[in-house]
Chain A
Amino acid sequence: MFNARITMPAEAKAGEIVEIRVLTRHPMDRGGQSDGKGGTVPRKILNRLTATYAGDQIFRFDMHTGVASNPFVSFTTRAVATGDIVFEWREDGGATYTRTSRLTVT
């Protein structure tokens, strides 16, 4: 169900602004449809994406039902130190998914 493709440069000069593009595979089910048994399907979307880099949260994306399925987001950050950028998604129901991407600063 969940898959993520993170596109960003592998290395950057210190101080350079790098663009990070994150394409996630997720149905982002907004819920409310009939489940065929008299009830409704509960909402199940990724409701938050956070990106942490060099000890700080650099980006947070609060998602509601207005975000498309297979959501895409791009943002920027300034390259400060070689390290992992950690992406963490939170799904309705409490599941979390984590991916990391390494940025080498020269």
Chain B
Amino acid sequence: MSSSISLRSRAIEPNRRAVLAGAAAGLALAGLPAPAFAAGTPELSEFVARITEGAVPLREGVTLAIPPLVENGNSVDVRVAVESPMTEQNHVRWIHLIADKNPFPDMARLHLGPRAGRAEISTTLRLAQSQRVTAVAALSDGRFAMAEADVVVTLSACIDGG
């Protein structure tokens, strides 16, 4: 009886070793490429271009405040401020928030106007995973401005539950 068990276990042994080796190789591979945040990924620039109708947004004047590390992706505080006098001639029309790795990357659009007084908003977002969050502001003169921030999410707002 004991011999048959040892035989069987010997037969299993190489398989398990192979599986473990394969898993280790897979882990090593997974760790090597794909840095967490590839700068200016094509998808993200496509999302931005779709929103700005092709215009290249300025990378100034927008402050995107979001914690760099969040524990719970189900509710992430974000604050966006745009430098603007908010007059009839020169104001922020809207602010759009994008998370390119969310199932629906367009998260929200906040429409402001000259009566806002200040172009400053805050809200709570859902982030499906660690990614780059982008805020695009449309200015009344037809230009756009944007800001980006990388966020690491430890507990994602996953598809099931939550």
A residues lining the B interface (CB < 8 Å): 17, 30, 32-33, 53, 56-78, 80
Residues of the A chain whose Cβ atoms lie less than 8 Å from the Cβ of B120: 75-76
Cβ–Cβ contact B123 & A77, under 8 A: no
Q: Report the nearest A residue to B118, measured CB to CB.
A: A76
- Smallest distance from the beta carbon of A40 to chain B beta carbons, Å? 11
In the bound complex, CA of A60 to CA of B30 (Å)? 43
Assuming A33-B160, A61-B110, A75-B110, is B124 touching A67 (CB within 8 A)? yes
In the bound complex, CA of A83 to CA of B127 (Å)? 38
**B154 at the A interface (CB under 8 A):** no
Select B115's contact among A60, A71, A73, A78, beta carbons within 8 Å.
A78
Cβ–Cβ contact A58 & B116, under 8 A: yes
Cβ–Cβ contact B123 & A71, under 8 A: yes
Residues of the A chain whose Cβ atoms lie less than 8 Å from the Cβ of B51: none
List 13 contacting pairs A-B, 8 Å CB cutoff, sorted by A: A33-B160, A56-B113, A57-B111, A63-B108, A64-B106, A66-B104, A67-B123, A67-B125, A68-B125, A72-B123, A74-B122, A77-B117, A80-B115
**B146 at the A interface (CB under 8 A):** no
